[in-house]
Amino acid sequence: MPASNNTTAFSWLVRGMLWMAGAGLLMLLIISGVTVPLDNALYDLNARYWRYTPDDHVVIVAIDPKSLDEIGRFPWPRSVYAPLIDRLTADGVRGIGMDVTMSTPSNDPSNDEQVAAAIRRSGKVVLPVFAEAVSLGGQLQEALPVSNIAQSVAALGHVDAAKDNDERVRGAYLKAGLGSPYWPSLALALLQVSHAAPRGDLPGLHDPMRNDSSPYVWMRDDYVLLRYAGPRGTFGYWSYVDVLDNRVPANLLKDRWVLIGATAEGLGDFLQTPDSTMPGVEYQANVLESLERGMLVTPLDFLRQFALAAALLTVPLLLYGLPGIGRNWPLLLISMTLVLAASIILLRGYYLWWPPVSCLLVIAVAFIAWQLLMRHRRAVHA
């Protein structure tokens, strides 16, 4: 057999072996999650240059320093919320999401009854539910509003923020609950009350273990990544006390979704996003706006991540050393650019997130291995 045929056969054998080794390394990298911090940093970089201008559909009524000065120290008596809810209802808002905890009875039962009555009159109020331990390290329980208030709301929605290992909040769970993810998120519940929720299956990454868990474990499902409108303050705020005292024109509230929550420093309801520290109520506004406008990003599951990465891994291995490909370093750069372009196109064009760092790393390792093998073969035949 001519030497050239032997070289060609050896070259293709090496390519096949490198691809199989690369596919195995890909699987290990994706399962282990060692590249997640770099993938998160890449998503954050994309997000900073992929902002949008919010519509005026979502309005935040802020428990801000001005309101605290005029109304008094927080927490306020629940009777303070009743006239605000009545005002918003009279102004024709589309729905009211209150990021305010009402899980323990007031000292004065009449306060609870006043706010419960206002909620019943509105028929558009969504209140939060969340999981908490009754004691340090104890069993989780769902914290619901007190009975008469819970019976008056249009819906309940969870306010569980999806924190990553670095404590930054890049996404949201559209469903969560104790033992099973049956509560919609606050934003989704608000859209459902307004009959504006997405039809069909929800976007997001599904948890394959969602129906195989202890009834005492807080379960989450339908995980989505957020396309934040921008840093803190991107959404418009109205001061709680200004709305309460009729200083805000009704036409600026009519047909809007209103979110009520704390924005004052020191009240503890702040989250770290990739851009800035943000009040929890503005995080909810980002989820609501993105969900309403169909701008939530679905991460690819393991099988789709692996399949796409394995397919792209074949490109450089098929081209390395072929006739007409004189220099391999430019080809390495082209291959990596193709991987990054695929990730960006899926994100920007189809609202799908494919983390590319594992594939980039394997391509670089395969390139180095190919160079060493070919150098060794040339030395042997020299």
* For the chain, domain boundaries: 3-48+298-380, 58-292
* pLDDT given for residue 276 in this prediction: 86
142 forms beta bridges with: 131
Give the model's pLDDT for residue 93. Answer: 96
Q: Is 214 exposed, middle or buried (0-12, 13-18, 19+ CB in 10 A)?
A: exposed
Query: Helix, strand, or coil here: 311?
Result: helix
Q: What are phi and psi of 203, to 5 degrees?
A: -70, 165
Both tokens of residue 374? 């070919």
**Token reading at 210:** 């969602």
Report pLDDT for 326.
47
The pLDDT, as a whole number, for residue 331 is 76
* pTM attached to this predicted model: 0.88
364 and 5 Cβ atoms separated by less than 8 Å: no
**What is the per-residue pLDDT for 216?**
77
Contacts of residue 302, defined as CB under 8 A and 6 or more positions apart, other chains included, come to 30, 31
Q: Which residues in the chain land under pLDDT 70?
A: 1-15, 134-138, 208-213, 317-328, 370, 373-382
Chain-centroid distance, C-alpha 214: 25
How far is 379 from 302, CA to CA, in rounded Å? 41
In angstroms, rounded to a whole number, what is the distance separating the alpha carbons of residues 225 and 73?
A: 35
Residue 303 φ/ψ, nearest 5 degrees: -60, -40
> For residue 323, what pLDDT is reported?
53
What's the one-letter identity of residue 185?
A: S
Amino acid at the residue 362: V
Residue with tokens 């249009």: 154
The helices-and-strands tally (H runs, E runs) of the chain is 12, 15
